[in-house]
Amino acid sequence: MGEQRGTLVIVPTYNEAENIGLLLESIERHAPDVDVLVVDDNSPDGTQKIVAQKQLSDPRVHLLSRAGKQGLAAAYVAGFQWGLDHGYRRLIQMDADFSHDPKYLPAMVETLRESPVVTGSRYIPGGGTVGWSLLRKLISRGGNVYARWILGIVHHDLTGGFNGWRREVLEKIRIDAIRSRGYAFQVELKYRALKTGFSIREIPIQFEDRQRGKSKMSGEIVWEATFRVFQMKTKALS
């Protein structure tokens, strides 16, 4: 493994050319000490070219290029494994579309010094959503209530994707065995961490709907989450 490194921010992308350059600049401004790994699924819109150009002037930026579109969960697993293989002590996952504001990164890094897992929560005091339709709010709230009820967890934002992990957590929860996608992937990560005995600290975030590019959320992802969460409770995690 070699020398231990600090914090790696993992950003999965597919057709995020409108956002990725601006996001990398914002991360550099708010958290100049972190490294960034962009995990791109062979975006046809030139996302990788923008990242590669940024790499020429910023050695903290890394690119993991995958052969094709394999989904968000697979991208995160690949990113986590890359980060572990390269010796990072802390790994943070965030979206590329500015729904997760880089201004929260310093608080996440600091919280990881005290807690093995930190999540950016929309559903604790100080947190919230901006620009969401009533239907999306109902789906998100309902999904969290359902997951908390089925799994018996008091954590407020199980489906959120702005999360930070110490390396020992990812090593012990067996990320290579995770089969969930979409919302269910975020739930399963947290559920595995809690079942393994790790605590989770929540910090409030304001989640803002994307302004540029196209949303990747689909009805299939929502339905998969519903059934997969039930499986987590009724079957042993493997």
Number of domains in the chain: 1
Q: Considering only CA atoms, which of 169, 189, 172, 171 is closest in space to residue 180? A: 189
- State the Cα–Cα distance between residues 238 and 235, nearest whole angstrom: 9
pLDDT digits (tens, 9 = 90+) for 95-121: 999 999 999 999 999 999 999 999 999
Q: Please report, for residues 83, 150, 169, the alpha-carbon distance to residue 196 in angstroms, rounded to integers and kept in the order given.
A: 21, 18, 9
pLDDT digits (tens, 9 = 90+) for 137-162: 887 777 878 887 888 888 889 989 99
* Domain that includes residue 82, residue range: 5-234
pTM above 0.85, yes or no: yes
Beta bridge partners of 17: none
Strands 5-13 and 35-40, how do they pair? parallel
- Beta strand extents in the chain (DSSP E only): 5-13, 35-40, 61-65, 88-93, 117-121, 128-130, 163-166, 200-204, 206-208
Looking up residue 203, the CATH number of its domain turns out to be: 3.90.550.10
pLDDT at 2: 52
